[in-house]
């Protein structure tokens, strides 16, 4: 193999690799169909928003105050009161999973309200901790709102000395889709960048065409570049298509600039492509390469990058491992450029880390390729 770069030879090799991609239906399916399925799954199938919770209501007091509070629960936007009756009856409904909580308005509630208090009991299904926490918080908030409105109607309240006004920046409606969909685009680039490129050199070995390439004067730089450039462009096209769908179909706001999105994506593809080539050169087998790419590329992106699970909530040893996951440095950039805008003070440090990973993976890929070809 020659170490001298020849533009004409490089162009011919580039055309050959591009035609090979076009002629391979599995590559196009992974590059375009699989990303669409992933995007729709996270856009519609995965939802961390809290819907109306199905609850039961046990009204054990016949006072006007108890009935008024019960009416507040029945008309609440947060609760869907599907059952009423005794606690023993409602508990069997909760065990069966038909309701997720029970609100108990106990005997003597009216007297307690007349004395200035008034407690209720909230029973929740602890097998679903998040839903249980939401039901408890919403029930207490509804009771407090009802108590404040009732006291105001009777003229017994004093204006609070301090008022708290909660405002949610960037995502006022707290829609989980706004951070899940940009994160899924990162997973798409991992699939195209790492999974597909993990097959390229291994495919050449299995088909016996790498020996023919070895007999030509193609250089190492040309060989690596012809394997990278087509998949780099393919990943950018897939990313652009997913971004357009995210904005038009899923309604995710895009407050940044297309230039920032392009730079962020290109920077991430540098280590993603390098990792795929390293895996391909080291394994020499398409099946093994694809499994290694999934375990080392896609799974860490889904589990250890902060895409779905908060990194700060992970155990300290796992948090340390996340620093070795390149997509950890991509997810904050993608979410920021979509829902907040361009913030280069956040982008640049993460880009530096991604470029460092890229040089490392390409160095390993070149060494592994030389060792196998020499």
Q: Which stretch, 9-13, 140-144, 196-200, 264-268, has highest mean pLDDT?
A: 264-268
Q: 3-state class of 201 per DSSP? A: helix
Share of the chain above pLDDT 90, in %: 21
Strands 121-124 and 101-105: antiparallel
Q: Residue 181 corresponds to which tokens in the numbers above? A: 């969909």
The pLDDT value given to residue 50: 64
Strands 53-59 and 101-105: parallel
**How far apart are alpha carbons 267 and 83 in whole angstroms?**
54
With beta carbons less than 8 A apart as the criterion, state whether 178 and 171 touch: yes
Q: Which residue stretches of 29-128 are H helix?
A: 34-40, 64-74, 87-95, 109-114
33 to each of 39, 199, 240, 244, 331, how far by Cα in Å?
10, 18, 14, 15, 22
Mean pLDDT across the chain: 83
The pLDDT value given to residue 371: 45
Residues contacting 152, CB < 8 A, separation 6+: none
The pLDDT value given to residue 264: 95
The pLDDT value given to residue 95: 84
More confident of the two residues 241 and 131: 241
Residue in the structure block whose two tokens are 């009216």:
110
With beta carbons less than 8 A apart as the criterion, state whether 124 and 132 touch: yes
The pLDDT value given to residue 236: 92
Report pLDDT digits (tens) over 52-90.
Answer: 788 899 988 888 888 888 888 888 888 888 878 888 888
Furthest CA-CA distance within the chain: 95
- Local structure of residue 250 (DSSP, 8 states): S
**How far apart are alpha carbons 193 and 234 in whole angstroms?**
9
**How far apart are alpha carbons 210 and 226 in whole angstroms?**
13
Left (φ > 0), alpha (ψ -120 to 50) or beta: where does 80 sit?
beta
Residue in the structure block whose two tokens are 């309200």:
113
Mean pLDDT of 88-109: 86
Range with the poorest average pLDDT among 27-36, 238-247, 256-265, 286-295: 27-36
**How far apart are alpha carbons 33 and 39 in whole angstroms?**
10
Q: Residue 270 corresponds to which tokens in the numbers above? A: 């540098």
Instruction: Count Cβ atoms within 10 A of the Cβ of residue 128 and give its class: 0-12 exposed, 13-18 middle, 19 or more buried.
Output: middle
The pLDDT value given to residue 215: 62
Residue 48 has pLDDT above 80, yes or no: no
pLDDT band at 47 (very low <50, low <70, confident <90, very high): low
Range with the poorest average pLDDT among 159-168, 316-325, 327-336: 159-168
Residues contacting 154, CB < 8 A, separation 6+: none
Q: 3-state class of 163 per DSSP? A: coil
The pLDDT value given to residue 228: 86
The pLDDT value given to residue 210: 65
With beta carbons less than 8 A apart as the criterion, state whether 365 and 311 touch: no
Share of the chain above pLDDT 70, in %: 87
Q: Which domains does the chain have, with CATH numbers?
A: 7-47+175-373 (no CATH), 53-153 (3.40.1710.10)
Q: Which stretch, 4-8, 166-170, 225-229, has highest mean pLDDT?
A: 225-229
Mean pLDDT of 149-173: 62
**How far apart are alpha carbons 147 and 141 in whole angstroms?**
10
More confident of the two residues 276 and 215: 276
The pLDDT value given to residue 306: 86
The pLDDT value given to residue 247: 92
Mean pLDDT of 159-179: 67
**How far apart are alpha carbons 72 and 64 in whole angstroms?**
12
**How far apart are alpha carbons 76 and 52 in whole angstroms?**
9
Residue in the structure block whose two tokens are 């593809």:
269
pLDDT band at 321 (very low <50, low <70, confident <90, very high): very high
The pLDDT value given to residue 317: 92
The answer to whether the Cα torsion of 181, 187, 193, 196 is positive or negative is negative
Q: In this structure, how many other beta carbons lie within 10 angstroms of the beta carbon of residue 313?
A: 9
The pLDDT value given to residue 214: 64
Residues contacting 332, CB < 8 A, separation 6+: 306, 346, 350
Residues contacting 293, CB < 8 A, separation 6+: 194, 195, 198, 275, 276, 279
């Amino acid at each position: 193999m020659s170490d001298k770069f020849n533009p004409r030879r490089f162009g011919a090799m580039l055309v050959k690799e591009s035609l090979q991609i076009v002629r391979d239906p599995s590559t196009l399916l992974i590059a375009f169909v699989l990303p669409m399925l992933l995007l729709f799954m996270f856009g519609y199938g995965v939802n961390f928003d809290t819907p109306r919770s199905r609850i039961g209501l046990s009204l054990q007091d016949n006072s006007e105050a108890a009935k008024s509070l019960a009416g507040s629960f029945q008309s609440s936007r947060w609760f869907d009161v599907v059952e009423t009756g005794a606690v023993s009856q409602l508990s069997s409904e909760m065990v069966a999973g038909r309701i997720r909580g029970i609100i108990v308005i106990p005997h003597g509630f009216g007297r307690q309200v007349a004395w200035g208090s008034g407690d209720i009991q909230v029973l929740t299904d602890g097998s679903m901790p998040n839903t249980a926490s939401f039901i408890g918080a919403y029930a207490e908030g509804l009771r407090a709102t009802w108590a404040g409105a009732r006291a105001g109607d009777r003229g017994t309240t004093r204006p609070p000395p301090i008022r708290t006004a909660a405002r949610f920046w960037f995502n006022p409606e707290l829609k989980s889709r706004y951070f899940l969909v940009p994160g899924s685009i990162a997973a798409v680039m991992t699939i195209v960048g790492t999974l597909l490129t993990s097959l390229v050199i291994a495919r050449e070995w299995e088909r016996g065409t790498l020996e023919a390439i070895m007999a030509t004067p193609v250089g190492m730089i040309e060989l690596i570049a012809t394997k990278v450039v087509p998949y780099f462009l393919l990943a950018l096209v897939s990313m652009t298509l997913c971004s357009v769908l995210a904005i038009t179909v899923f309604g995710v706001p895009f407050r940044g600039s297309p230039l920032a999105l392009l730079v962020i994506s290109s920077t991430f593809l540098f280590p993603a492509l390098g990792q795929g080539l390293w895996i391909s050169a080291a394994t020499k087998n398409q099946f093994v390469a694809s499994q290694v790419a999934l375990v080392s590329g896609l799974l860490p992106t889904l589990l250890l990058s902060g895409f779905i699970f908060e990194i700060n909530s992970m155990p300290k040893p796992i948090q340390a491992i996340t620093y070795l996951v390149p997509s950890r440095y991509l997810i904050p950039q993608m979410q920021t450029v979509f829902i907040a805008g361009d913030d280069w003070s956040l982008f640049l440090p993460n880009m530096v880390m991604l470029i460092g990973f890229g040089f490392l993976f390409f160095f390993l890929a070149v060494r592994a390729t030389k060792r196998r070809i020499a």
